Amino acid sequence: MLPSSLLITRRWRNRITPVYAKLSQENLGIARLLNQTYRDFVGRKKGELDETVEGLEALDYDYRYIRGLSALLDRRCQFESKTTMNPIKIRRRVFKIAHEKSLPTTPEAREAVLHQAASELKVTVEELEEALYGDLEDEFILKGFKPVDPMALVRQYNLSLTQTLLFYSTELTFNAQGNWQRIFRQIKWLGLIYTIWRSNGGYQVKVDGPTSLFKLNRRYGTSLAKLLPTIIQSPRWSISAKILRRKEKRRLLNLELDNQKHDVYLQALKKLEEKMYDSQVEQDFARRFTALDTGWILTREPEPIPVGRQVMIPDFSFQKAGLRVYMEVMGFWTPQYLKEKIKKLIQLDDVDMIVAADQDLACQKLDRIGKKLNVLYYQRRIPLQPVLAHLKAKEKCLVKAQVKRLYAKTLTIKKPVVEAWELAKTIGVLEDAIKEVFVIKKIPEYTRLGDMLIRKTKLQEIQERLEERLDQGELSLREASKIIEDTGARRPTSILDVLGYRIEWHGIDPQSAKVHRKTRAELN
């Protein structure tokens, strides 16, 4: 956050937005210049540094921008007092001597006071003068400075502007894609008051702002501002807030931000590109499950699940064709943690949850949820077999329901050749359901070739081309396959068989295979 006096905003009707610094060459240039200035002043007094920075305000920039960048750079500095003596003790001694001798009105009288004080304290006059006001901020020495990339500094400035404005919010509403585990962990750690609800298939969270409380709470406002960096680390996010500015005669103003318009300004922190795991057990399970390529999509830290007035974010979710199964890994717990976790798990309605509990830490309390949820125990690593069995059972139930529904309706197929996986993707069902329907249901105008359908008119077209070619002489399998594939069909050998052709093989090399019409005996 920045001091409120450095906040730069723009108002339009009932909207308010921070005036972000663009990532222009001019703005980056001043950020680079300030960086270099701080580097150059390492070993010198803070007062001298501040005077130089104030001189930069004479440039054609908003002084609040210069001071804002400087405030951020100050936080990257290490200032120390040069003196090892106690300035307060020294001042008391000097002022006591000055009082006894009456106030010094001449340089000579001042020197006499300093000499007597230095003699009594057994230091030199130079050391005494240096320590006299050594505890004042301007006298501090810049011992170290950690430079920052100019673009990162400007983005951090923009982020700080937003945090400062949120300090005056009555409420903050946001939604995000992914990153929920860290967001709610941060909300809980910061002690923020929140409400969560479903919205457009996702979730929205409303956090009470500091000005929604009985009086402006500076600590709470600071906590709310600290939540912002965690939200904007999500791949997609949007924020809306109600801002109450006292100088606006207590009128509420709307602040609206989202990743598409504002990410380039606010991206002060590196985006979360790699999945972080709470334990080696979870990471090991994710690696082994993903390697199986089951068709189920494994997601780490999925969308939150509202549980009463709280929220629960399972460790994993499994998704396939509209099915969703969650898994919570309980590898470490305290009695209070277990009590709260069981309370949440019991409240879950219409949620398919697998609970993987460490056998060494498990207790009988988990058996209370065993009938409602699927509890499995593990030692050192989570077994895949029971998880796969549960997912397979869910898949079979869904296939059965989908087959029943598909059998009762007319399948609309536009393509002359379609495979089960293609049709399943188009309709939004499991591939196994389409394969079963192909077997038990006759599709008008189509012939089934395994898990592929081909229009009868397409088969007739293929046969006419093959007959025309056979009338000219010997036909190789390679040429026949090309004729079939040129029509847009697939699986040439299956089509040749259903059309009544025979393949004569000469060894295992398909290049030497020939295609012949079947004899009457072969057809019979």
pLDDT, residue 390, reads 93
CA distance 524 to 521: 5
Residue 297: how many CB atoms within 10 A of its CB? 11
CA distance 227 to 161: 14
CA distance 333 to 358: 10
Distances from the Cα of 169 to the Cαs of 8, 11, 119, 208, 443, in angstroms? 16, 15, 59, 8, 62
pLDDT, residue 274, reads 47
pLDDT in tens, 403-431: 998 888 888 888 899 888 888 888 888 88
pLDDT, residue 522, reads 56
Could you tell me the two tokens for 509?
């090399």
pLDDT in tens, 57-106: 777 778 888 899 999 999 898 887 777 677 778 778 788 888 777 777 67
CA distance 167 to 181: 24
For 241, the 3-state DSSP assignment is strand
Residue 452 · residue 415 · CB < 8 Å: no
Angle at CA of residue 62, ends 57 and 66, nearest 5°: 55
pLDDT, residue 392, reads 92
Residue 421: how many CB atoms within 10 A of its CB? 14
Angle at CA of residue 427, ends 396 and 447, nearest 5°: 90
Positions of the chain with pLDDT lower than 70, given as ranges: 84, 105, 133-135, 199-202, 209-219, 245-250, 267-278, 309-310, 331-340, 349, 361-373, 519-524
Residue carrying the six token digits 């989202």: 258
H helix intervals, 363-488: 384-407, 420-427, 431-440, 456-470, 477-486
pTM of the model: 0.58
pLDDT, residue 288, reads 93
Closest CA to 65 of 161, 190, 200: 161
Residue 346 · residue 368 · CB < 8 Å: yes
